[in-house]
């Protein structure tokens, strides 16, 4: 499938482009903001990018920013410009930056289609294996990314819960220590995929708002669980620098009737903390209120160990990459064991993510990991579904 990303800030133009560029074996993804385009490029591979140049309500040729982004990070992706703001100097700049074709809007639409189909044919010919039977053409597909604010205002987010269980020798029933809230969006929507949603929100400086929506969704499911379980709530570290984070979180917990001592905030190194002083002040305030901290996805990111040092977390959640096939990999075993020993010496409990098999569960228990999380114990479900699962044991309230 030939994947094309289209950026234009006018929805009518986007719809026109989607209609004009439809073709067999072509998958079009359209968006209305440069932040969405950058987020998409960080998550998916595209063969070609088509962009307007005037894509900001503030005016100017903001589309040049996307051209530079693609040319720098994805040099194998073919760039096309279709714009109504062209003169010879703009054309020259675009060509110097590696744009394959600079076309006038709307007159160049037919030529754009011809160029895209020629590029599709070139790539197909380059990758054809003479011994591999040619598959029949696939129908054209179009995916649209809505404006983030419009998407969020529609209230589409919900949450599922996945248990965190103490590791022991044996099978079900598994006792639940806590549950992690996992944000989900509407099926069939690109923004229903958490990785893209959070990447787009970060580009728009809306991570704080998205974090709060996800927390509220998780707390709504958590209320359906009996006993006194612990809630693991995901938060991006940069959200903690927002002055409203603590009062808004406290209000959400009060509404959910959840004691602060039963809350663990999971922080992951997705973006650099721009205001370390505000971050540290919020972290101290949260701990004073009785909340605990978990460092998520430990083992990923270039400065993960630095974040461990800064956070001094009560829980260390180890990246799923260390769990896959760990029972057969002595190198992974050494890393997991040393991580468990380091955490124990600092007073942190360890949680291995993405445990899929009984062999993995037994091996990480042997290596000293305290808790496990993954499909071997339970896939993510609603609070009511978890409460009704007889393979899981929820300790009664004391």
Summarised one tens digit per residue, pLDDT across range 123-148 is 988 876 655 666 788 899 999 999 99
- Note down the domain range covering 90: 2-144
Give the rounded distance of the alpha carbon of 295 from its chain centre: 16
What does the alpha-carbon distance between residue 216 and residue 243 come to, in Å, rounded to a whole number? 18
What does the alpha-carbon distance between residue 236 and residue 207 come to, in Å, rounded to a whole number? 7
3-state secondary structure of 176: coil
Whether 134 and 169 map to the same domain: the answer is: no
Number of domains in the chain: 2
Domain-embedded: residue 85:
yes
**Region for residue 170 given its phi and psi (left: phi exceeds 0; alpha: psi -120 to 50; beta: otherwise):** left
Whether 191 and 108 map to the same domain: the answer is: no
Q: Which residues are within 8 A (CB) of 370 and not within 5 positions of it... i.e. 6 or more apart?
A: 166, 167, 340, 349, 350, 351
Domain-embedded: residue 52:
yes
Whether 228 and 89 map to the same domain: the answer is: no
Whether 207 and 285 map to the same domain: the answer is: yes
Instruction: Return the pLDDT at 3.
Output: 97
Of 144, 166, 185, the domain-final residue: 144
Whether 103 and 18 map to the same domain: the answer is: yes
What does the alpha-carbon distance between residue 242 and residue 238 come to, in Å, rounded to a whole number? 8
Q: Which residues lie across from 166 on neighbouring strands?
A: 371
Domain-embedded: residue 370:
yes
Domain-embedded: residue 49:
yes
Whether 182 and 123 map to the same domain: the answer is: no
Whether 127 and 152 map to the same domain: the answer is: no
Other C-beta atoms lying within 10 Å of the C-beta of residue 207: 22
What does the alpha-carbon distance between residue 324 and residue 313 come to, in Å, rounded to a whole number? 24
Q: Which residues are within 8 A (CB) of 180 and not within 5 positions of it... i.e. 6 or more apart?
A: 161, 162, 164, 232, 233, 234, 266, 373
Q: Tens digit of pLDDT for each residue in 155-192?
A: 889 999 999 999 987 777 899 999 999 999 888 889 98
Average pLDDT rounded to a whole number, residues 82-105? 92
Average pLDDT rounded to a whole number, residues 77-96? 92
Whether 45 and 179 map to the same domain: the answer is: no
Whether 136 and 152 map to the same domain: the answer is: no
């Amino acid at each position: 499938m030939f994947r094309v990303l289209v950026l234009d800030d006018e929805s009518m133009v986007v719809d026109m482009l989607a209609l004009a560029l439809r073709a067999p074996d072509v998958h079009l993804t359209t968006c209305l903001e440069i932040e969405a385009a950058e987020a998409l490029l960080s998550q998916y591979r595209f063969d070609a990018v088509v962009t307007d140049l005037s894509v900001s309500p503030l005016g100017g040729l903001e589309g040049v920013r996307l051209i530079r982004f693609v040319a720098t990070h994805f040099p194998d992706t073919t760039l096309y410009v279709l714009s109504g703001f062209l003169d010879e100097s703009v054309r020259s700049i675009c060509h110097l930056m590696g744009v394959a074709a600079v076309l006038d809007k709307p007159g160049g639409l037919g030529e754009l289609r011809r160029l895209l189909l020629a590029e599709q044919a070139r790539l197909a010919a380059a990758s054809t294996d003479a011994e591999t039977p040619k598959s029949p053409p696939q129908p054209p597909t179009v995916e649209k990314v809505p404006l983030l604010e419009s998407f969020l205002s529609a209230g589409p987010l919900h949450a599922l819960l996945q248990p965190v269980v103490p590791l022991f020798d044996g099978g079900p029933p598994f006792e639940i220590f806590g549950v992690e809230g996992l944000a989900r969006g509407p099926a069939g929507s690109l923004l229903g995929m958490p990785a893209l949603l959070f990447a787009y929100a970060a580009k728009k400086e809306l991570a704080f708002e998205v974090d709060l929506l996800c927390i509220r969704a998780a707390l709504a499911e958590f209320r359906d669980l009996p006993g006194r379980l612990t809630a693991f709530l995901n938060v991006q570290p940069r959200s903690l620098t927002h002055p409203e984070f603590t009062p808004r979180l406290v209000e959400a917990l009060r509404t959910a009737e959840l004691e602060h001592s039963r809350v663990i905030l999971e922080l992951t190194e997705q973006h650099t903390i721009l205001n370390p002083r505000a971050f540290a002040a919020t972290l101290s305030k949260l701990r004073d209120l009785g909340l605990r901290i978990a460092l998520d996805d430990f083992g990923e990111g270039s400065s993960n160990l630095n974040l461990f040092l800064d956070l001094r977390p009560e829980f260390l959640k180890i990246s799923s990459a260390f769990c896959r096939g760990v029972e057969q990999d002595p190198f992974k075993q050494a890393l997991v064991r040393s991580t468990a020993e380091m955490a124990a010496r600092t007073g942190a409990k360890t949680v291995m993510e993405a445990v899929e098999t009984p062999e993995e569960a037994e091996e990480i228990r042997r290596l000293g990991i305290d808790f496990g999380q993954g499909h071997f114990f339970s896939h993510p479900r609603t609070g009511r579904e978890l409460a009704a699962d007889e393979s899981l044991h929820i300790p009664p309230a004391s």
